[in-house]
A and B are shown apart, each in its own frame.
Chain A
Amino acid sequence: MLRLPRLRYLKPASAAAAAAAVAEVGPRAVLVAGGTDLLPKLKRRQIEADTLIGLAHLSELRGVRGDARSGFELGALVTLTEAAEHPALVEGHPGYAEAAGLVSSPALRNAGTVGGNLCVDTRCNYYDMTYEWRRSIGFCMKKDGDVCLVAPGSPRCWAVSSTDTAPVAIALGATVVLVGPDGERELPAAELYRDDGIQYLAKPAHEVITALRLPPADGLASAYVKLRRRGSIDFPIAGAGVALRLVDGRLERVRIVMSGVGSHPVEAPAAGELLAGQEPTPEAIAAAAELAARPAKPLDNADLHHAWRKRMVRVVVEQALQRAVERARARRP
């Protein structure tokens, strides 16, 4: 079988100590919570590390605090299963809970965490292969090589953002709490990401995500629609997270964020603006979905045909908008 490299596992006393340990050990150190993304990548030598900085024992990173009225704070170690099944969260931000519940499989959701899914590595089927396979084809720029194998003329890496939970979090206007050696800061979830397949996180490696803060429900209705080949296990090949308000029959504050269509969660602000002030008619939703999907440029580096994936982006956006509108209508007294 594929073996893990020899690893040192550290158990820092706090998130701050974890951050300090990463800074001290340097690029051969990597943070680990659930490990569901990391461990296979260590086996395939996509990530080379000799030190794991464990977070799983840090009880202050556990638990869901707050409620729909005041907003929620989810500890970074809250498992995806806990998030998906948390009654108040399901009630307050159903789109986030459903996104958490659509990650991978039950076993991996029991181990995978809220913080981990936000940081999940970008994916590409030239990259998510064993060391031997990657060596055989000649390595890509994301690891060990200097070209992009899916777009050989490209100066950048096109690995695909594959987090299911980030789109809704961004659409809701969530923030993440980061702890570094110099203290704590709060960052809009949208600003956690960069449009780059390699350096896809805007945070330095030594900052630890300690919590995700979701706003008060305050009339916000959310939804997440995930497209994948099978009913479980698979990463998104297109996904849409949506949050909106329906006030007196008209849409307000519509945010649409897509997963699986670029190297970062891609927001479609123009499509959101198009809907603002409008009634959520099927025509209006279709027009917004069309607009949102326009910039998506899937490449031949994920499951199924990229031309089909391109066609499906507007479908998932439309479905997510419709579902969010239905939820908004159901919520009104």
Chain B
Amino acid sequence: MSTDGELEVVGRPLPRVDAVARVTGTARYADDLQLPRMLHARILRSPHPHARILSVDTAAARRIPGVKAVLTGMDLPIRYGIMPVSQDERALEFEKVRFVGDPVAAVAAVDEETAAAALDAIRVSYEPLQPVMSIEEALRDPVDEPIHDPALTRQRGNVHRLVSYEFGDVEAGFAAADHVREDLFFYQGNTHLPMEQHSALATYEDGRLTLWSSTQVVHYVHRALAKVLELPMHRIRVIGAAHGGGFGGKTDPFSHEIVVAKLAMVTGRPVRCTLTREEVFYAHRGRHPVLIWMRTGVTREGRITAMHVRTALDGGAYGSYGPATVFYTGTLQTVTYAIPAYKFEGVRLFTNKAPCGPKRGHGTPQGRFAIELHLEKIARELGLDPVELRRRNYVRPFTRAVNWLRVTSCGLEECTEKVLQASGYRGRPRRPGHGMGFAASAYMSGAGTPIYWNDMPHSEVQLKLDRTGVTAYCGAMDIGQGSDTVLATVVAEELGLRPADVRLVTADTDATPVDLGSYSSRVTFMAGNAALEAARRMRRLLVEAVAEATGVQGDLDEIEVREGRVGEVSFEQACQLATTRFGALSTSGSYRPPRIAGPFKGSGVGPSPAYSYTACVVDLDADARTGLIRVNKVWIAHDVGRAINPLAVKGQVEGSVYMALGEALMEEQVYRKGRHKWPSMLEYKSPTVLEMPEIETFLVETVDPEGPYGAKEAGQGPLLPVIPAINAAVFDALGIWIDETPITPEKVLRALDARARGQEARYGPRRFPDVDYGAPIRVDPPDPHDLRVGEELERAFAAAGR
């Protein structure tokens, strides 16, 4: 960076630092790793959706030549789970199984064939229990027994979590409305479908465990291994291998990671396990199926006076991130639209399906789908333009929402204007079957609170500089989103280098300081800020050394650090001078979000140091005879704050559009006869390149005051508006509402048939179940212009007795 603040590498569309290894196939993924004497592990899984385990007989398996170890649940009895409040999983279950695919036993053998043969030889005796396969069923009294012990869940029946909040006076808000509308929506579950299956390799040498894994969160895997294996953290090293895609699906600690670690400890040999594609469908942690009821009051002008949202989540067999997901189905509505009074009730239920968890957008795509279509319907009912109605309710930058979420930079208006202009949405030509739809959204740039309660930084970066150059160390895991490139770019910008000049060591718990990992769109913002701090400290030391050695007097800030030079000397010379002066240097930087959360229990889910904003327009053709839909083009504008690498940001936006198209039009993780209907990449339909429309991406740079160089997230937010925009465009094309995902041609024809019969031109859920959400926690809204955070906010809470 030049002394006048002009950016040299930030903002330039440079190739990613790992691009060549990725595209030439030389990047080493976990399944590529081979060690001498390595064993292969396979996991035996439940064939029943819900059953008690009566006995597990492994004697025959142990006798098979080449089998080196067999584990059952008794070897790994300690429960774990990503959320401290939901420690409900075991690496191998020995009491009961809760879905088809639940792990029961594991084998390490000289090859995969032998391991598979050994699994076949394990005899498990089950007592089947009545499975629970839907939200409705989960709300009824259990036929046999709840899926989880109510003593652990502290809830009745198959309820996992309940949330109930009222912010402001909702009743008064509805009373002030000129018009009130209710709608029902259903968002189907779907899965991440990463190209790379989960894979992990463990060694246990000299009392130290090392695990290479395809994970998004080396730190959380580290914690889970320490807990379940009862090893101190300093005897465990977790390394993130080159990553073949996560999208949230590798954000939990997994059974196979714990199993290979234990097998390595038992056998004293390296052990690797790569899940089959079918097992990846069972690992899941994907999109929750969610039923949503939404009631909103508006004035004649379309201003929202109150909103009441109820959600019911089909959580699958385990907790995973579910306690957060249930919040996310409602919490972020208030950072897109100014809602003066807001009531939100949510319930997450256990069912006998693969556990749901975080998938790109984590709990928010469902609520986003509902609110965008709901507002679209309200606008049409009031005779208002649906975009205009939204604009009248857009949050303003630098305000605080009714549920205390703090909004800083906000480019919703600019995003909206960009896509309206470019798409010609307003003056679109009318032809049969053609439609356009608009939607807007917001997403977090990292969760404001950590998963386990602590006051430590969320991200830490260390820089080492010696005579050979500079190396950055950070626990963040590049899962393909480009976080390594962001780190290198930030360091390069501050030290006057090119990103490729910065060596990186990332996601290695021995070598790198903690970063909480690649989830909640947090890495650019948090690790970026930590890297920025470390790099500025290093720059200062370099400049000091150079100034001293070259006899420069005066303001050190006047010394240019750019284009491979520090003042009058080259960067290499500067490194030598700095080493001469100080010895090998290291600096560190860290980032912890300010305290933003409001003064109430549960306020920790939703706050983020900054929100990204997106708007999009979808153009499609829908065939009234077949119900088939062809998406022609997507215009999407994303407020990324600042694009540290616009090429990488556009890649994230386009990938989000692709994933959204799959969710909107075809993907569904569905069950038949108690098991996953099609755990196969051929049968589970996801779009191919041929289904991809042209995408025109606009990056809006609002330069957030707290983001590194003003940057905000890009990995998840752009998915959100695409899905409801597709449904809105289908309405535009055919005059029917498909109030659920995915929009299959069958649903389109059924809605058209309904209209032909004089019924409502709609396909979607008909009823929201009766749920006792309990009395809401009532929260007084903040002053919308009170932007205090951190200690200032805490002092204010203390003064107010909160």
Contacts and interface: CB of A to CB of B under 8 A. Distances in A.
Interface of A: 1-3, 6, 125, 128-130, 132-133, 135-137, 149, 229-234, 303-305, 307-308, 311-312, 315
A233 to B, nearest CB: 6
Contacts of B45: 132
Nearest to B116: A3
B278 A130 contact: yes
B468 interface: no
A135 B746 contact: no
Contact of B100 (A136, A308, A312): A136
B798 interface: no
26 contacts: A2-B276, A3-B112, A6-B113, A128-B683, A129-B679, A130-B276, A133-B675, A135-B47, A136-B100, A136-B675, A137-B673, A229-B685, A230-B666, A230-B688, A230-B690, A230-B691, A231-B690, A231-B691, A232-B688, A232-B690, A234-B682, A304-B744, A304-B746, A305-B744, A308-B746, A315-B626
B745 A315 contact: no
Interface of B is mostly: loop
Given A308-B746, A311-B749, 19 more contacts: A1-B274, A2-B276, A3-B116, A6-B113, A125-B678, A128-B680, A129-B679, A130-B679, A132-B278, A136-B48, A136-B100, A149-B673, A229-B685, A230-B685, A230-B687, A230-B691, A232-B690, A305-B746, A307-B746
A125 B683 contact: yes
A258 B673 CA distance: 30
A304 B678 contact: no
Nearest to B31: A1
Contacts of A307: 746
B430 interface: no
A303 B683 contact: yes
B199 to A, nearest CB: 10
Contacts of A308: 627, 744-746, 749
B258 to A, nearest CB: 21
A231 B688 contact: yes
Interface string B193-226: 0000100000000000000000000000000000
A63 B278 CA distance: 39
Contacts of A128: 680, 682-683
Contacts of B197: 1
B12 interface: no
A128 B680 CA distance: 9
Contacts of B276: 1-2, 130
A233 B690 CA distance: 11
A96 B677 CA distance: 33
A280 to B, nearest CB: 20
B37 interface: no
B625 interface: yes
B393 to A, nearest CB: 37
Contacts of B676: 133
A133 B676 CA distance: 9
B523 to A, nearest CB: 30
Contacts of A305: 744, 746
Contacts of A230: 666, 685, 687-688, 690-691
Interface of B: 45, 47-48, 100, 112-113, 116, 197, 274, 276, 278, 625-627, 666, 673, 675-680, 682-683, 685, 687-688, 690-691, 744-746, 749
Contacts of B687: 230
A231 B676 CA distance: 25
Given A3-B113, A303-B685, A311-B749, A125 B744 contact: no
Nearest to A136: B47
Contacts of B625: 315
Nearest to A229: B685
B697 to A, nearest CB: 23
Nearest to A308: B746
Contacts of B688: 230-233
A149 B672 CA distance: 11
A234 B696 CA distance: 28
A100 to B, nearest CB: 18
A137 B113 CA distance: 23
B120 to A, nearest CB: 9
Given A128-B683, A230-B691, A231-B690, A137 B675 contact: yes
Nearest to B630: A231
B131 to A, nearest CB: 12
A229 B666 contact: yes
Contacts of B682: 128, 233-234
Contacts of A232: 688, 690
B403 to A, nearest CB: 40
B679 A133 contact: yes
B673 to A, nearest CB: 6
A294 B420 CA distance: 47
A137 B682 CA distance: 19
Contacts of B679: 129-130, 133
Nearest to A129: B680
A129 B677 CA distance: 10
B32 to A, nearest CB: 13
Nearest to A228: B685
Contacts of B274: 1
A304 B743 CA distance: 11
A128 B682 CA distance: 10
Q: Which of A2, A229, A311 has the most CB of B within 10 A?
A: A229
Contacts of A136: 47-48, 100, 675
Q: What 7 A-B pairs have minimum CB-CB distances, sorted nearest first?
A: A231-B690, A136-B47, A308-B746, A305-B746, A229-B685, A230-B688, A232-B688
Contacts of B677: 125
Contacts of A311: 749
A20 B679 CA distance: 39
Contacts of B680: 128-130
A65 to B, nearest CB: 33
A308 B745 CA distance: 8
A286 B175 CA distance: 56
Contacts of A125: 677-678, 683
B626 A312 contact: yes
A1 B746 contact: no
B772 to A, nearest CB: 35
B125 to A, nearest CB: 15
A312 B746 CA distance: 10
Contacts of B47: 132, 135-136
A312 B676 CA distance: 26
Contacts of B112: 1, 3
A305 B676 CA distance: 17
A137 B100 CA distance: 10
Contacts of B675: 133, 136-137
Contacts of A130: 276, 278, 679-680
Contacts of B749: 308, 311
Nearest to B681: A233
A231 B628 CA distance: 12
Contacts of B678: 125, 129
Nearest to A233: B688
Contacts of B666: 229-230
Contacts of A233: 682, 688
Nearest to B748: A308
A149 B673 CA distance: 10
A6 B114 CA distance: 12
Counting chain B CB atoms within 10 Å of each CB, the highest count among A1, A129, A135, A136 belongs to A136
B679 to A, nearest CB: 7
A136 B690 CA distance: 35
Contacts of B113: 3, 6
A77 to B, nearest CB: 25
Contacts of A1: 112, 197, 274, 276
Contact of B745 (A135, A149, A304): A304
Interface centre among B197, B627, B744, B745 (most CB of A within 10 A): B745
A146 B531 CA distance: 63
Contacts of B626: 312, 315
Contacts of B691: 230-231
